[in-house]
Amino acid sequence: MEFGIVGLGRMGGNMARRLARQGKKIAVMNRSFDVTEVLVKETGHVPCRDYADLVTVLEKPRIIWLMLPAGDVTETALSTLLPLLSPGDLIVDGANAHYQDDMPRAARCAERGIEFADAGVSGGIWGLENGYCIMFGGSDTAAVRLKSYLEVLAPTPETGWLHTGPVGSGHYVKMIHNGIEYGMMQAFAEGFALMKDKSGFNLDLAEIAELWRHGSVVRSWLLDLSADFLAEDQVLDDIAPFVADSGEGRWTALASIEQGIPVPVIMLSLMMRFTTQGKNDYVAKVLAKMRHGFGGHDIKKGE
């Protein structure tokens, strides 16, 4: 047994489950050991309490796949792991990390003779059943070592995974993937909002979403998901108009500036998310005051 997963949240836990279904026995570790114990009872994987335990359980050369939050948590994991590992071991960062963090991390690992690869993973909570789309960057040697696991994690052995290039390329491709996702989601939301507001037609959004799923050029998994929730509730009165943004959307916008490539759809979809978070509230207040100042227009008082 050479493979271990650290981080058994929604993605990491389901990846471990998918590997178990295909007869891949691995070591698993989570910050909360009770989460590890529950997963082990279900999958038969080997439980580990800490990094030292994980390293002891795995045979050399080891593969340790981190499914941890990007940033400090991943950095702490690397700092803890590196002194425990041996030359020839491989660390895979499966978090949504910034691709520019990958190169220095790979250099740190290389100083100890340890390989580093970065993997962007898409599939969400549906990955367990449908498989994950995995884009990973690293050496050709790392690609060979990961192949048998990627074939199981992906929708099929031949589709849904790709060695995108050197270290950093996997997270870069995943970053762009999520930027595109922002734009697609915004366009669908705006279209449904227009139809909901249109008087005189009494449009059934659920029926329209279901219609578009068949033969339309806009059919997609995002449309499938939209059709499902619209079939249950088209009004959405109990949903707060707040949309969080993850790092990838911001990083994609920054990359467009660095590379001088215009991405107005992605950029505006990110700005719209900021608007839902109350970041536009003060802007609107200033606009209202200016409008009142030059034209005497009424100002709506806050409640």
Residue 181 designated active-site: yes
Handedness of CA 276, 278, 280, 281 (dihedral sign): positive
Residue 41 designated active-site: no
For 131-273, where are the E strands, in sequence order? 133-137, 161-165
The one catalytic residue in 42, 151, 174, 300 is 174
The one catalytic residue in 181, 190, 207, 279 is 181
| Number of C-beta neighbours around residue 81 at 10 A | 21
Residue pointed to by tokens 């329209």: 208
Nearest alpha carbon to residue 227 among 247, 212, 215:
212
Q: Which pair of tokens denotes residue 156?
A: 């099929």
Q: How far apart are CA 297 and CA 126, in angstroms?
A: 51
Length of the chain: 303
Q: Name 219's Cβ contacts closer than 8 Å, sequence gap at least 6.
A: 212, 213
Q: Please report, for residues 52, 77, 89, 95, 109, the alpha-carbon distance to residue 86 in angstroms, rounded to integers and kept in the order given.
A: 12, 16, 6, 23, 10
Q: Which residues is 251 bridged to in the sheet?
A: none
Residues labelled catalytic: 174, 181
